[in-house]
Amino acid sequence: MKLLVFGSTGQVATEMKRRLPDGITADFLGRDAADLSDPAACARIVAGCDADAVVNVAAWTAVDRAEAEEDAATVVNGEAPAAMARACAARDLPFIHVSTDYVFDGRGETPFAPDDATDPQNAYGRSKLAGETGIRASGARFAILRTSWVVSAHGANFVKTMRRLGGERDELRVVADQIGGPTPAAPIADALFAIARAMVGGQSGGTYHFAGAPDASWADFARAIMEEAGLACRVEGIPSSDYPTPAARPLNSRLDCTSLAADFGIARPDWRAGLKDILDETGADA
C-alpha cells in the first residue's frame, strides 16, 4: 500500500516517517512540494499521484495568529483539505484528515462525541471546521480524526517547553481549568496507518476522536512532566482568566473515543507512557 501524505516536518508527519509499518510506503510532501495556501495545486497533486490513499497532516497550527489572519488560516485548514478530498473523490481514493477538538464550544464536562454539535470559539477552530465541512461535501470516502494536545520529541510543544522552564525556575503557574487528553504524536501516526490500511481494504470511514488517557488539566500534565523529568519545579494551578490569549481556549477538550475503538480496534493511548518516551528521547536538550 502506498500513501500520499501532505505534511513532512510536523509532529505527526515526523512520527509517520519514523514508524512506517511493513507493507506501507509513503511520499511525504512538505511546503516546498505542496503549499496548502494553493488548494488547486494540492488537488492537482492528488489527481496525478499513484497512491492508494491520501493522508493530510499538514495544517495552519498558529492558533493565536489565526485571530488576525483568519482568511489565510481558512485557506490552509479549510479550502485545501476540501480540494484534496474532491480530487480523491474523483479517483475513489480514501482521504484521511487530522482535525481538532477546537471545533467544539469547549463547554461542560462531558466528553464530546463525534456527532455532537460543533461551535468553534476561535478562528483556528472555525478554519478547521471549514475543512471538515468541505471534506464531508466532497463525495470522497473519508475519515476525519479529531485529536487534542499533541506532543512529541519534535518541534515546539508543551512537554518541551515545560521541561525547559522547569529546569530554569522554581515555580510555574499553569492553567488548571482546561481539561483534555494529551496525545503523543507516535500513536496518532499508528492510528492513521491503521485507518488507511482498513479503508484501502474497503472499510468505511467517518468522523472519529483520538486522544490520550487519562484526561487531565494542563497543570496536571505539567506536574507529571516535572515528576517524570526529575525536576523540583513546583506547578501552581491558575484559572484561564489569569493567562489571557488572543484566541479563546476551550475549557473542555475531553473527547469520546469509543467509536474509533469499535470500528478500527484503536484504543486511547496512555499519555504517561508516551511522556516517558518523549523525555527519554529529548534528554537534557528539551
d(CA 225, CA 238): 17
Catalytic residue among 102, 124, 208, 243: 124
23 closest CA partner among 41, 1, 50, 38: 1
* Whether residue 124 lies in the annotated active site: yes
d(CA 100, CA 205): 17
Question: Residue 132's CB: how many other CB atoms inside 10 A?
Answer: 22
Residue 96 in contact with residue 150, Cβ under 8 Å? no
How is residue 147 written as a grid cell?
Answer: 485529536
- The secondary structure of residue 167, as a DSSP letter, is H
Catalytic residues, by residue number, are 124
